[in-house]
Structures are given as C-alpha cells and as structure tokens.
Amino acid sequence: MILAAGQTAIEAKGVTKQFGTGQDAVKALDNVSVSIRENEFFTLLGPSGCGKTTLLRLIAGFDFPNEGEILLYGENIAPLPPYKRPVNTVFQSYALFPHMTVAQNIGFGLEMLGKPRAEIDKRVSQMLQLVRMEELANRRTSQISGGQQQRVALARALAPAPKVLLLDEPLSALDYKLRKDMQIELKRLQNETGITFIFVTHDQEEALTMSDRIAVMSRGKILQIGSPRDIYDRPSVRFVANFIGETNFLEGDVLAVEGASATVKLAGGGTIVAGLPEGLKPHGRVTVVVRPEHADLVKPGGEADLWGKLENIVYFGTDTHYYVKLDGGEAFIIRQQNSHGAGSGHAVGNPVGVALEANSAQVVRD
C-alpha cells in the first residue's frame, strides 16, 4: 500500500559519509539519495555494516556527512547539531537516563525546550497513557523490564512531538513474543501520532510487516526503494531478492524485450515471460528470480516450464517445501500451502515439472 503521496519530510541528496582517512577510509554511505514522505513508516533494511544506522545518525545529527545535503521539509539540516533538529531518536540500547524516573525521562526533551512545567506534566501524562505506563511513572528506569524500557524510550522520543522519529533497531533486544507485540504497538503509535517514522532494521520480516516503504541497503548504497510488496515480488537486484525471503535464481537468455517484460529462454529448458526492473533493457544472459510459493509441481505429462527430479520433501505444518533438482543442474524450491488431510501425491526421486505462475518471474540486476 502506498499512502497518498504526501509532502516530502526528509530528503537525503547525494549523501556520502566516510570514516577514517587515507588508506583506512571506509565509505559508510556512498552518494545516497532518498526522499521520505510525511506520515510514512519508512524502513531502512540491510545487513549490519550496510550504512543504515549511519544514515539514521546523519539525520539525527550525531554525525555529519562529508558530502551532500539532508533536507527536512526543504531546509538543509546537515550542519545543525542534534539539539537544533526537530527530530528524535529511539536508541537500540534505549539510552534511558538511569538517574531519572520514568516520568523525568519522558519530560526531559520538553524541559530542555524550555516548556512551562504545567505543559510538561500534561504532556508526560499523555505520553504515559499512550504507551500504557501510567502506574510506573515514578519508577527508576532500572526497576522496569526491557519491554517497559522500550515503551519509555518511545514515549521520551515522542513527547517533544518531533517532525520525524528515528528508530534504530529498537526491537532487537526484545524476545520474540514481545517483539511481535511491539511491532503492532509501533504501528499503532505511528497511526495515532501521525509522525513520520524512519525505522532501521536488519530483520526482513519486521520490515515487510510494518513499513509503508522499504529501502534495501548494502555496502553504503540504497539498492531498491519500494512498498513491501514491490520489494518482495519485484526485486530489482540480485542482493535484494536474496536478502528478503527465499528465492530461486534461474539463468536464461533474453529472446525479446517488450516494454517492462522480457521473453527469456531458461537454461533449464522452458521459455517464460519475466518482469524487468525499471530502466533495464537486457540482452544476452540474465538472472531470473521466482519466489518458491509462485511455482507449482507438475506430474510428468503435464505442462511445465522446467523439468527435474524431486530430491526432498520437507513438511512445515502450514506448508510443504519441495526441493527439485532441475535438469540444468540448478536447485529449485517450491513452497505449497497444505490443505487438510491431503497429501501431495509426489514422492522423492520422481521426475517432476515446475510450472511458474504467470508474471511471477522477474529479471534482476547483478
């Protein structure tokens, strides 16, 4: 789902950040440009070291870019210190002040902004209510659980009503169950406050379930920006397809290109029509990706795009994974939803065909 294209809240323009100098120099961000809309839940997704946290820290003001601009509603904030930016951060470690109570923590930002006491108190109790922590207002932050600390960190960052909220892997320290709850909670908070969220994570599932849009990053560059469905169904780069979800990679030769799709003759036999990433007009050898759930097993004699031998069947409860070794030698995984009491009728060792769903294949850049 893409929200009605609102105003741009944050825009990075050609941002480069380098750590160290000379031979030890590491480019954490390499000419990155991205624009994030107002009220959007925007996720920076990537493996550790991909530059996602660096980008967040540049927006927060803890680091300054070597090149490029960071625009907040059109105004370049890159040279401003963090305390002059109407942007707040939820830290991975929460970074709650241990010498203050929960309420003092939440009120700290407003106090520093010089708000009158009465207004601070009112806002703090609103925030406590928002994150359902009213009873623990006067506790020390060391006397509350990890999940509660997480809520306090959120309330503290939301209290000054920032234009943009930055979240640096805020759920990574929580256990699975709590993380699920907090994902829903975060989404609720974003809806209720209407604040633009920029969320950093390496967890693809978290990114897919929560985000309006995702930017997948690797080695200091943004590889693809799109809605979770775009990113999952139409990965434009091999890395994105590989990083998010399970994927089958197939080699093939382009026979023809028409608009946004190409006819590809697969190395394994069949000829398919595959979607093309924007701006790519391929010829010759290409890589095509197909998600495991977008293909079906076919018994010999049926109509299929590829043929091979069924090597393994793994039952997962909700679905079953079929591992096929294609005649071309490549591995292909098919995931099928299980229905009650019905077996698949396939057996390991049998020759099988693989039928791809229409429009499910996608050519990726290497």
Partner 1 sequence: MGVAQQAADRAERDQIRKRWLLSSPALIIIFFAAIGPLAVVVLYSFMVKGDYGDVKYWQFSLDGWFNVVAERDMFDDTLGLAWANISIFWRSLKLSFITTIITLFFGFPTAYFIATRKPDKRDLWLFLITIPFWTNILIRTFAMQEVIRNEGIINSALMGLGLVDQPVQIMFTDWAILFGMVYVYLPLMVLPLYASLEKLDFRLVEAGYDLYANRFQVLWRVIIPLVKPGIVAGCILVFIPSLGAYVIPRVLGGGKNMMLGNLIDLQFGQGRNWPLGSALSITLMIIVTLALLVYVRNTAKGGGNGHV
- Taking the CB of residue 212, how many other CB atoms lie within 10 A of it? 19
Residue from 88, 190, 287, 320 binding partner 1 (CB under 8 A): 88
Handedness of CA 54, 58, 59, 61 (dihedral sign): positive
The DSSP element (H or E) to which 75 belongs, if any, is strand 75-76
d(CA 90, CA 261): 42
Out of 109, 226, 235, 270, point to the residue binding partner 1 (CB under 8 A).
Answer: 109
In Å, the largest CA–CA distance within the chain is: 79
How far from the centroid of its chain's Cα atoms is residue 338's Cα?
Answer: 28
CA distance 305 to 318: 26
Among 1, 23, 75, 98, indicate the residue that binds partner 1 (CB under 8 A).
98
Applying CB under 8 A, does 82 fall inside the site for partner 1?
yes
Phi, psi of 210 (to 5 degrees): -100, -25
Counting contacts by CB under 8 A, is residue 91 touching partner 1?
yes
- When binding is defined by CB under 8 A, the residue of 1, 5, 24, 99 that contacts partner 1 is 99
The span from the CA of 77 to the CA of 85, in Å, is: 7
Instruction: Please say which residue, 110 or 286, places its beta carbon nearer to partner 1.
Output: 110
| Intra-chain end-to-end CA distance of the chain, in Å | 27
In the structure encoding, which two tokens stand for residue 49, read together? 């070291």
Smallest separation (angstroms) from partner 1 to the CB of 160: 7
From the list 83, 118, 318, 340, which residue makes contact with partner 1 (rule: CB under 8 A)?
Answer: 83
Query: Residue 15 Cβ, how far from partner 1 at the closest point, in Å?
Result: 19
Task: Sketch the per residue contact string, 128 through 157, with partner 1: x for CB under 8 A, - otherwise.
Answer: ------------xxx------x------xx
Of 198-227, binders to partner 1 (CB under 8 A) are none
Number of residues that bind partner 1 (CB under 8 A): 27
Considering only the stretches 58-66, 72-80, 211-219, 315-323, report the one whose residues sit in contact with partner 1 under the rule CB under 8 A: 58-66
Q: Which stretch binds partner 1 (CB under 8 A): 86-94, 122-130, 267-275, 335-343?
A: 86-94
Burial class, 329, CB count within 10 angstroms (exposed 0-12 / middle 13-18 / buried 19+): exposed
Per CB under 8 A, the segment of 2-10, 33-41, 92-100, 344-352 that binds partner 1 is 92-100
Beta bridge partners of 272: 264
Residue 81 Cβ, how far from partner 1 at the closest point, in Å?
Answer: 7
Closest to partner 1 by CB, 96 or 182: 96
Distance, CA of 18 to CA of 22 (rounded, Å): 10
What angle do helix axes 117-130 and 102-112 make, rounded to 10 degrees?
Answer: 130
Interactions with partner 1, residue window 160-179 (CB under 8 A) = 160
Token digits for 231? 């990113």
Q: Binding of partner 1 at residue 362 (CB under 8 A)?
A: no
Residue among 43, 53, 89, 247 that touches partner 1 (CB under 8 A): 89
Angle between helices 117-130 and 146-158 (to 10 degrees): 130
- In whole angstroms, the minimum distance from the beta carbon of 161 to partner 1 comes to 12
H/E run at residue 47 = none
Nearer to partner 1, 95 or 178 (CB): 95
- Binder of partner 1 out of 44, 60, 216, 297 (CB under 8 A): 60
| 3 state DSSP class of 212 | coil
- Cβ(160)–Cβ(113) below 8 Å: yes
Residues with Cβ within 8 Å of 78's Cβ and at least 6 positions away in sequence, in order, are 58, 64, 65, 68, 69, 70
Among 9, 37, 41, 61, binds partner 1 (CB under 8 A): 61
Distance in Å, CB of 123 to partner 1, minimum: 13
**By CB under 8 A, is residue 95 in contact with partner 1?**
yes
64 belongs to the binding site for partner 1 (CB under 8 A): no
Positions in the binding site for partner 1 (CB under 8 A): 60-62, 81-83, 87-89, 91, 93, 95-99, 108-109, 112-113, 140-142, 149, 156-157, 160
